[in-house]
Chains A and B, each alone.
Chain A
Amino acid sequence: AQSVSQHNHHVILSEAASLELGCNYSYGGTVNLFWYVQYPGQHLQLLLKYFSGDPLVKGIKGFEAEFIKSKFSFNLRKPSVQWSDTAEYFCAVNPTSGTYKYIFGTGTRLKVLA
């Protein structure tokens, strides 16, 4: 079955620390990849996406992610986190082979200490 794994369930960092959140998926075909963020009390919003081309994609608020096809991974990074990055982060995969379904990971709760 297709699945998305986010191995870090809870992450606590101090401001200015670097962030890397892992995301691995299990699907052999071509996929679209997403990171969504849910700030406290808010709905999910798109952070960044990868469809094709340059495997290093940049999103909003200084976030970036790298697609490594051989590792089935799409890790999220930010060089220096801020207190306002405190949120829950979800990785999502959409197989491109004729399905419109999206598979979400279980999420990573990030807390940034001021």
Chain B
Amino acid sequence: EVQLVESGGDLVQPGGSLRLSCAASGFIFTDYNMNWVRQAPGKGLEWVSYIHSTTTTTYYADSVKGRFTISRDNAKNSLSLQMNSLRAEDTAVYYCAREYCSGGRCSFDYWGQGILVTVSS
């Protein structure tokens, strides 16, 4: 059974830092690109970041570029998101999501349960 389990969410002050983790199991982690998606309270979904399965190529939404860093440890089947210079508008539930591609058509087929990050003084 595919499982993605996020951890590390917390209440943090503006300007602070936080590191989220996502533990993956039930599939061959190195076969899949991974992503972070967030959802502010009462709002829609926002893609945050992507990392390739093996090359460690990364991409970021403009809203987090230069502040967030995505990484993965394929030996530990783990995905991380280092978040620095946090702002109130970063308050959201953060999801890790597995990217599934079939014939070039990609989507997010498995999601974690989500972890809440609150940025407030």
Do A and B truly interact? no
Contacts from A to B (Cβ < 8 Å):
none
